[in-house]
Amino acid sequence: MRLNTALLVTTTLICGTNAALAQEGPLSEAAIDTPDQTTVIVKGKKKDVVKKLDKTIYNTANNPTADSGTAQDVLQSTPNVSVSAGGDISVQGNKNVTVLVNGKPSTAMMGESRAVTLQTMSGSDIASVEVITNPSAAYSANGGAIVNIVLKKDRKPGAHGSIRGNMSDQGLWNITAAGDYTRNKLSLHATAGIRRDGSLKFRQSDLHWTDPLTGVFGENIQSSEVFIRRTTWNASIGTDYDLSETDTLSASASYNFRRSRPYFDEFHADYDAGDLTDIYHRISNGPNQQSDDSFGLSYSHQKDDIVLKAGAQHSDTDILVDKSAGNVYIYPVQPTAYDRIANRNGLHMDQANFDYARPLGTTGQVSFGLFYEKTRNDIDNYFASIDPVTGAETVDSNITHRYSVIETLKAGYVTGQMTWAEKWDALFGARLESNSTRLDAKNQSPIPDGDYLALNPSLHLKYTFSSKKYLKLSYSQSQQRPDPRDMNPYVTYWDAQNVFIGNPNLKPQDLKAIELVYETDRDRLSRNFGLFYRTSRDTVIDVRSVTADGAFLNSKANSGSGLSTGVDASLAWDVSDAFHLSADGSAYFVRLEALDLDGLSRQSGTSYSANLSLNYSKGKDVLAFDAHLQGPGLTAQGTYSATNTLNLTWKHHLTKRLDLNMNIRDLLDGSKQSYTNRTSTYYQRGYDHFDVHRVFIGFVYKSS
């Protein structure tokens, strides 16, 4: 490809609404929870909310969405969390979000595989969701917010089991079985399920571009429609054994396999200087597949308020995306051209943690911990043109590469927690992280290694006006590590309009965040109002240059700074024993910086998000409604439109053990999002539409 010199940028501002998904990092378990003044429990019939100094825990036991929905549905119904139809997550408008399972990172929750994992994970497996908007030093210093999914683990004596399933149109259905057994010191729990799901996606793009060197201009029109049918098999097993009254040994393992065959029809029409040059359909049908497995061991000791936890875990994710396609030409008429395209990605992670906490005086606690994580990402990209007569493949060496990215993270932290004057609570600490990144490219030129060392402090304060009113202040400083895949200097095929080349010189971006929150809690009503201010330096941005044929060459770079500031508010209200209402919203100002031919440019604007949840129960029936609104916003070069999602769930207790349910998702089909991008060398407009409007009917049967 011949590239022009125009750089076109879309900022992935980590502290604003347009941030990229965070590279997942570890969460130490030693933010040990103790029942002191820093914990407030708001009890309601529908949902328990546990507020701690550095996080809020939402119990999902009484969430009707969990019975018939996915993990994505459960997160979407969680206050302060927004989830798009495509699986992108934001917390209070911040899209730099780390998702953990039982306090641990896993390969299944990293990068592009995270959305698929959440869309195929059963919501019924989730016990609670922890939302951490401003993490303390006990957590990963990789920036952004944290959402921790805590899975169910029942240790009631005896044997218990359940089976649940649902179905919809388009041949979509799922069924899951779960069971647990506890006797004396031993507890076992297991799940297994199969899910056949799918989604319809529409996309359209109209790109007008100009080569500033030659003055050549053109237009590329692209539209596509694809229905992805996906089958998922999953199983998990775990055990807990009490070595003594104070010591417990636990083990767990899980496996998931997903396979899909999307029928993809992408229409192209290209113009050069106003003259039509070609019209064709690009047809592909996969297959695509992904497998995830994990195994973990952990040990815990708790005696006289002294807590020790240690653990080790291994996880793998293997992905194959087959983009092989045929170009069926309408104009000019010519034989169909075929390409063999395959992107393989094998992600392997080993990690270990040690955490210790003990009392400090009569009202305090000190904790420290160590964390080790090694991740290996094996990437194999293949592109070849196929002779339609002989079937011979001609490999394109420019976009055929095999390489590995090895990242090693070592971390240690110390935190202190104390109460004084019966009014003040404080949680303070620091985290030291050492990170090294190495790229191992077979048959390629050597690539410089990336290493950094960072010390990141944090502070959380709470002042108690009365037993029902509190004021909280939190501050954190951290660094967000680049996604190792963004550091490879080789061209990777994305689609017919986009290729990607990494930047081995990427540096971590520095983040700072401060929050001020006022809370009031009554027996039936809990409210809070907050202010937040986030900044970034050496912000990682998306860089684009236009090729001679109007395609995009995408890359990454450190550039400028970013800012996001705003207000947020929420309430949870038990209007009566039968009716529960919760609502939350954010309004914020974002400033973005980007690169163009004229140098660094700056854009600013405002946006908002809101969530509403209503639960009503009467007799044997439960009715739940949740609505979600994400306002329009700015990117570095343009705008995107607002989206909305409305879901309705009904559950009927048919017998003591059997429930029936119905779930209507995206009631108004509001997930279509249009966008515009404009720079000195191109103008683009288009839309993405994930059609997830669907009705599910299902059941839940419990043995006891």
1 in a structural domain: no
Query: Over 90: is that where the pLDDT of 416 sits?
Result: yes
Query: Over 50: is that where the pLDDT of 44 sits?
Result: no
Instruction: Tell me if residue 65 falls in helix, strand or coil.
Output: helix
Residues 117-154: tens digit of each pLDDT: 888 888 888 999 999 989 999 987 676 889 999 988 87
Confidence (pLDDT) at 20:
33
220 in a structural domain: yes
Query: Over 70: is that where the pLDDT of 3 sits?
Result: no
Query: Over 80: is that where the pLDDT of 655 sits?
Result: yes
Strands 97-101 and 145-151 come out as parallel
Confidence (pLDDT) at 32:
45
Confidence (pLDDT) at 552:
80
Enumerate helices (H) and strands (E) in the chain, giving the number of each.
3, 43
Confidence (pLDDT) at 249:
97
452 in a structural domain: yes
Confidence (pLDDT) at 486:
83
Comparison of pLDDT for 600 and 679, the residue scoring more: 679
Q: What band does 447 get if pLDDT is binned at 50, 70 and 90?
A: low
3 in a structural domain: no
Confidence (pLDDT) at 491:
86
Whole-angstrom CA distances from 60 to 73, 624, 653 are 11, 13, 18
For the segment 183-194, the average pLDDT, to the nearest whole number, is 95
Confidence (pLDDT) at 449:
65
Residues 51-90: tens digit of each pLDDT: 888 889 998 877 888 877 888 989 988 888 888 878 888 8
For the segment 154-170, the average pLDDT, to the nearest whole number, is 89
Query: Over 70: is that where the pLDDT of 696 sits?
Result: yes
For the segment 528-534, the average pLDDT, to the nearest whole number, is 95
For the segment 158-173, the average pLDDT, to the nearest whole number, is 92
Comparison of pLDDT for 331 and 31, the residue scoring more: 331
2 in a structural domain: no
Least trusted range by pLDDT, from 143-152, 207-216, 442-451, 456-465: 442-451
Q: What band does 40 get if pLDDT is binned at 50, 70 and 90?
A: very low
Number of folded domains that form the chain: 1
- The highest-confidence range among 134-143, 172-181, 633-642, by mean pLDDT, is 172-181
Among residues 616, 601, 596, 603, the alpha carbon closest in space to that of 679 is found at 596
Q: What band does 507 get if pLDDT is binned at 50, 70 and 90?
A: confident
Among residues 565, 516, 567, 556, the alpha carbon closest in space to that of 536 is found at 565
CATH of the domain at 514: 2.40.170.20
Query: Over 60: is that where the pLDDT of 285 sits?
Result: yes
Confidence (pLDDT) at 141:
61
Among residues 173, 144, 282, 175, the alpha carbon closest in space to that of 220 is found at 282
**Residue 681 CB: number of other CB atoms within 10 A?**
21
Mean pLDDT of the chain: 86
For the segment 369-395, the average pLDDT, to the nearest whole number, is 93
C-alpha to C-alpha distance for 478 and 431, rounded to whole angstroms: 9
Query: Over 60: is that where the pLDDT of 11 sits?
Result: no
C-alpha to C-alpha distance for 601 and 594, rounded to whole angstroms: 5
Query: Over 80: is that where the pLDDT of 516 sits?
Result: yes
For the segment 562-585, the average pLDDT, to the nearest whole number, is 92
For the segment 156-160, the average pLDDT, to the nearest whole number, is 90
The phi-psi region of residue 359 (left if phi > 0; otherwise alpha if psi is between -120 and 50; otherwise beta) is beta
Whole-angstrom CA distances from 621 to 70, 616, 653, 666 are 21, 8, 6, 22
C-alpha to C-alpha distance for 101 and 24, rounded to whole angstroms: 11
Query: Over 50: is that where the pLDDT of 109 sits?
Result: yes
Among residues 193, 179, 71, the alpha carbon closest in space to that of 128 is found at 71
For the segment 259-270, the average pLDDT, to the nearest whole number, is 91
For the segment 567-596, the average pLDDT, to the nearest whole number, is 89
DSSP letter for each residue of 473-514: EEEEEEEEPPPGGGG--SEEEEETTEEEE--TT--PEEEEEE
Least trusted range by pLDDT, from 89-98, 350-359, 547-556: 547-556
Comparison of pLDDT for 671 and 443, the residue scoring more: 671
| Domain assignment of residue 92, given as a range | 8-702
Least trusted range by pLDDT, from 289-298, 418-427, 533-542, 575-584: 533-542
C-alpha to C-alpha distance for 311 and 668, rounded to whole angstroms: 46
482 in a structural domain: yes
Query: Over 70: is that where the pLDDT of 35 sits?
Result: no
- The proportion of the chain whose per-residue pLDDT surpasses 90, expressed as a percent, equals 54
